[in-house]
Structure 1
Amino acid sequence: MILEDKKKAFIQLGLFLEQFTAQPYQQNNSVLFNDLFFDKMERLMDQLHESNSWFKRPQLEFAFKSWSNALTQENLDKWLAPYDLSNEKLKTIGLILAGNIPMVGFHDVLSVLISGNKALIKLSSNDELLIPLVLDYLGTIEAELKNRYKITKEKLGNFDAVIATGSNNTARYFDYYFGKHPNIIRKNRNSVAVLNGSESKEDLLALGEDIFRYYGLGCRNVSKLFVPKGYNFDAFFESMFVFKDLINDEKYTNNYDYNKAVYLMSNFNILDNGFLTIKEDTSYASPISSVFYEYYEDLETLKNKINSDNEKIQCIVSNQLIENSVPFGSTQNPALWDYADDVDTMKFLLSL
């Protein structure tokens, strides 16, 4: 397959997904194969919520919007410009995908297919319906792509390399089984925000998006705040209040009630606004409905700490207080070239 044909297929996928970013969903007559897939996607969105109660329509719509924004000619050209994609190696790449947020593993699938390789995909049980439909759509747009992927429920075998995403515990399993093969193995990471008290209300509202989108389940969700000594959380809590309707979600509420009860029974000092608790803690991974915070004395010391903990951190959010930080509100809209764990997936695939 030539690269331009693969690009066109993914651009069409972006246009297809764009139809499902806001209700009522409207068919775009210029989108190919809507007669086969539009109603199927609408029905699937109901099934997704039944199979994974975190996958509610607003979260699905946000994910589709993110992907439709990413899969454009301009973005694909910019992403792929540094790489030599003139030869297809057709290596088989085993993919073990996460399923904590909708389509979270799709970037790996995209990278394998567009690099000229084949994907042997093991889906997460938490997201085993959406990616197959997306791949079916791609294969209908470009028939050759149907021969470039296979979904399996069996133990991975007959592969040339592996990209596996999981927890710190599963990473040890991955290391044991796949360590002899070229691999990318991803572990737990969390995202942090660095505040200095000068943030505007708009900044803090956007930070709420970084915290609460996908209920805080993603590695790009902010789960930890670094704040200066004496920081006043009043403005933070005031801005978070626009997300108060989360407490009407039964599953979120169950997590909030449980985690708050654990903190109180353990005599931890917490701040609470009725749907979010914040707790002083040196850890990075806070539970759902809770955010940890830690005081810092000066930015230079904090920069050194963040550098030393680099392997635990996915994104840093700030008003340019920290090098390579991203703006408030942007963590869940990564560009195609924003690789997980800062590991260049395309470079890895093309080196095989």
Structure 2
Amino acid sequence: MLQSEIKSSFIDLGLFLSQFEFENYQLNPIVKHNDLFYNEMIDLISLSQSHNGWFTKDNVCFALQSWAKALTEYNLDKWLNPYNFTIVEPKKIGLILAGNIPLVGFHDLLSVLISGHEAIVKLSSNDQHLVKFLVKYLIALDNNFAQKITFIQGKLEGFDAVIATGSNNTSRYFEYYFKDKPNIIRKNRNSVAILTGNETKEELEALAEDIFRYFGLGCRNVSKIFIPKEYDFTLFFESIFSFGEIIHYEKYANNYDYNKAVFLMSNFKLLDNEFLILKEDESYASPIASLYYEYYDNTASLNDKLKEDAEKIQCIVGKNNENFISFGKTQKPELWDYADNVDTIDFLINL
């Protein structure tokens, strides 16, 4: 397949996905194959929570809309133009995908295909249906995709390189098993926000989106905030109040109750607004329904700490720094925002 043909199919996929906004589905008559896939997509959205209890209709639609906005001709061109794809020798790329949030591994699949390679895909048990559905739609657009994508359930074999995402524990297995092949191995990472105490209510409301979207399960979700000494939490708690309905979701509530009980039994000092627990902690990975915080003395020492811990951090949210992500934007990455800051396309074209 020519890259132009692959790109065209993904643009069509983006247009198809744009129809499925939360509580506002709008059938677009110019979208290809709606007769085959539109109603099936609606059914899949409705069933997603039965497949994975964390995949609510709201979060699945948010993921679909994120991809609809990403898969435009402008974005694809901006992403791909800097690269020289003429040097690519097509290979078989093994993909071991995560499943913590809807379609979290789709960028790797897109990168493999747009680079001219074939994908051997091992899906997470937590996200078995959404990726397969999008692939089925791509095949309907162009049957050549059927020869480019293979799903497997067992052992990953017959690959030339691998991109694998997992926990810190599984990454050690990946690093050993794939040590003789070119690879990208992703481990646990978390995102943080740096607050100064001068944030507006609007900025903190946007930060709440970074904290609560996908119930905080993504590596791009803010799981910890850094705050100056004598920080006043009043405006912070007022600003996140609109997300209070999250406590009515049973799985989240169960985690809230459990983690609060564990913290209290350990006699930790907590801040609590009845749907989010704040705990002072130097770690980065806070449990579901909790947010860690840590005080800093000055920005210079904080920047040194963050550089030292760079391999633990996915995103830094804040302002007045070109390397920071704006409040409310962590779960709206661009195609060129690579996980772990590892350029996937560069890796794939230089195999």
TM-score calculated relative to the size of structure 1: 0.98
CA distance in 1, matches of 2:350, 2:85: 11
Assess if the C-alpha contact under 8 Å between 1:96 and 1:123 holds in 2.
yes
Assess if the C-alpha contact under 8 Å between 2:45 and 2:61 holds in 1.
no
Aligned to 2:287: 287
- Aligned pairs for 1:249-260 (under 5 A) are 249-260=249-260
Aligned to 2:43: 43
CA distance in 1, matches of 2:287, 2:31: 41
Structure 1 residue 30 displacement after superposition: 0.6
Aligned to 1:161: 161
Structure 1 residue 82 displacement after superposition: 0.8
Note the alpha carbon deviations across 1:175-220, whole angstroms, 9 max, x for none: 1100110000000000000000000000000000000000000000
Assess if the C-alpha contact under 8 Å between 2:210 and 2:329 holds in 1.
yes
Aligned to 2:72: 72
Aligned to 1:83: 83
Assess if the C-alpha contact under 8 Å between 2:87 and 2:350 holds in 1.
no
Assess if the C-alpha contact under 8 Å between 1:196 and 1:228 holds in 2.
yes
- 1:35 is paired with a residue of what secondary structure? helix
Higher mean Cα deviation, 201-210 or 17-26? 17-26
CA distance in 1, matches of 2:287, 2:299: 26
Matched letter for residue 80 of structure 1: L
Verify: 1:219 aligned to 2:198, yes or no: no
Note the alpha carbon deviations across 1:130-160, whole angstroms, 9 max, x for none: 1001001011112211110100001000100
- 1:90 is paired with a residue of what secondary structure? coil
Structure 1 residue 90 displacement after superposition: 2.1
CA distance in 2, matches of 1:341, 1:213: 20
CA distance in 1, matches of 2:119, 2:109: 7
Verify: 1:343 aligned to 2:351, yes or no: no
Structure 1 residue 46 displacement after superposition: 2.2
Aligned to 2:62: 62
Structure 1 residue 22 displacement after superposition: 2.7
**CA-atom RMSD, angstroms?**
0.9
CA distance in 1, matches of 2:139, 2:184: 26
Matched letter for residue 295 of structure 1: Y
Aligned to 1:53: 53
Structure 1 residue runs of 4 or more that deviate by more than 4 Å after TM superposition? none
Note the alpha carbon deviations across 1:6-56, whole angstroms, 9 max, x for none: 111000110111111232422110100001111111111122110101101
CA distance in 2, matches of 1:6, 1:35: 22
Task: Quote the sequence identity (%).
Answer: 58
Verify: 1:15 aligned to 2:5, yes or no: no
Matched letter for residue 218 of structure 2: G
Verify: 1:237 aligned to 2:237, yes or no: yes
Matched letter for residue 91 of structure 1: K
CA distance in 1, matches of 2:29, 2:256: 44
CA distance 1:329–1:251, shift in 2 (3 Å): same
- Aligned pairs for 1:310-321 (under 5 A) are 310-320=310-320
CA distance in 1, matches of 2:136, 2:348: 23
Matched letter for residue 309 of structure 2: D
Assess if the C-alpha contact under 8 Å between 1:87 and 1:116 holds in 2.
no
TM-score calculated relative to the size of structure 2: 0.99
Aligned to 1:333: 332
Structure 1 residue 87 displacement after superposition: 5.4
Structure 2 residues not aligned, in runs of 5+: none
CA distance in 1, matches of 2:313, 2:88: 34
Give the paired residue count: 351
Assess if the C-alpha contact under 8 Å between 1:92 and 1:159 holds in 2.
yes
Aligned to 1:300: 300
Structure 1 residue 86 displacement after superposition: 3.1
- 1:333 is paired with a residue of what secondary structure? coil
Matched letter for residue 67 of structure 2: W
- 1:86 is paired with a residue of what secondary structure? helix
